[in-house]
Amino acid sequence: MESKQYFEHPLTKRYASEEMLMNFSPYKKYMTWRKLWIALAEAEKELGLPITDEQIEEMKAHVDKINFEEAEEYEKVTRHDVMAHIWAFGKQCPKAKPIIHLGATSAFVGDNTDVILMRDGLAILKKKLVNIIDNLKNFALQYKDMPTLGFTHFQPAQLTTVGKRACLWIQDLVMDLWDLEHVEENLRLRGVKGTTGTQASFMKLFNNDEEKVKKLDIMVAKKMGFDKTFLVTGQTYPRKQDSRVLRVLQSIAESAHKFACDIRLLSSLKEIEEPFEENQIGSSAMAYKRNPMRCERMTALCRYVMINGLNPYFTAANQWFERTLDDSANRRLVIPEMFLATDAILNIYINVSQGLVVNSKVIERHVMEELPFMATENILMEAVKKGGDRQELHEVLRKYSIEAAAEVKEGKPNNLIDKIAADARFKMTKEDIVKMMDPSIFVGRSPGQVIEFVREIVDPILKKYEKYLGMKVDLQV
């Protein structure tokens, strides 16, 4: 019989980490449903409902023994995933069966589990973010003094340093980390709200004792590791919470995209390259090729995350009154995929940032090719000090610069300095001018800015999360 090979999602097959895959696995999802049912039953018992310890212990004994096949069969009959798993859990727990999901609606397990998985996913991403920040901090300090061409419009501008440029990458990630921390601190569980968010079913269960119903909500939340719930909901928690969470992932993708594009440009200039393994092949045709494939993959995945991140805005905007179900299929795809893709992006980012290759001689050559143009302002000031006419000499420098640039474009060496030294109006020898062309003179406060930025911004972050540091990533493809 001919075997069939079905589509396999690249995020699960090639890119995302096992840790993130497990976080959004069916096993964790449905085990979290069961933990929520146990937390609900415990809290209801503690508040006086006739639920026994035996029933709760029976549920706990089967919390991780998920009978997937039976649940799938039940869903074929019910066309309802939550009811299917209630029945499957009840079959394993016959004593607890009558009280599983007591007073709750499907969103009790569905929505609360989504929040829990997003919380745990953010924790995984945060750990990786701080490791990238640490890698780039070490890189920035190592190369804080190395002059390099700064670019505006991808045209040579004033000099910066390799380390200073790395601080721009770090700063983007720091802003992402701040956003992530803010979202984490303000993440709220849906809680125990009933069918349309009114808690009417629980009011019935507790004989209209409003204080007990309010306690039930916060008790379940605390059992699941949250100290806050939404005070008002419809059937679902506000979908704007998804937008806020996934916006952080979009932001991380923005930062990673910027870094990856910079490295791709620098790789084309042969100044800085991503790691390239001994047996890696850059092209099936061109044996000499050394493509920045890791950063290219980062760029591709970043684009996917940034575009996919539009989905939650439309979902939140299209909620009808207390809820509509057209968010369900969309969220099943968007939330896990954005976390898996962002996880993959950060895995690549860690790998690249821990092995960047700096070709210092190439960088120095490019600097010295452009430095004569950049030095003209200093040369002008020195010549004026020696008695020259500022306006006249400015026009001469403009003319010589245009001539030299045209010759460079013809493949000739930059002879601007020779032109200036040969002009008696400047009253300067070539040796005088060369002394003024130490690249370190032209980098401004770049080295000091690196030290200041690391000390005041980066080091406090790394101290706060030092237990996370030391992560290495070996990419499989």
The residues that are catalytic are: 153, 283
**Residue 369: exposure state from Cβ atoms within 10 A (0-12, 13-18, ≥19):** middle
Least Cα distance to 260 among 306, 217, 223, 314 occurs for 306
Neighbours of 154 (CB within 10 A): 8
Q: How far apart are CA 182 and CA 164, in angstroms?
A: 27
Q: How far apart are CA 286 and CA 11, in angstroms?
A: 29
Q: What is the DSSP string of 154-190?
A: TEEEEEEEHHHHHHHHHHHHHHHHHHHHHHHHH--B-
From residue 168, alpha-carbon distances to 174, 462, 464 in Å are 10, 17, 21
Residue 113 contacts residue 220 (beta carbons within 8 Å) = no
Residue 208 contacts residue 218 (beta carbons within 8 Å) = no
Residue 374 contacts residue 442 (beta carbons within 8 Å) = yes
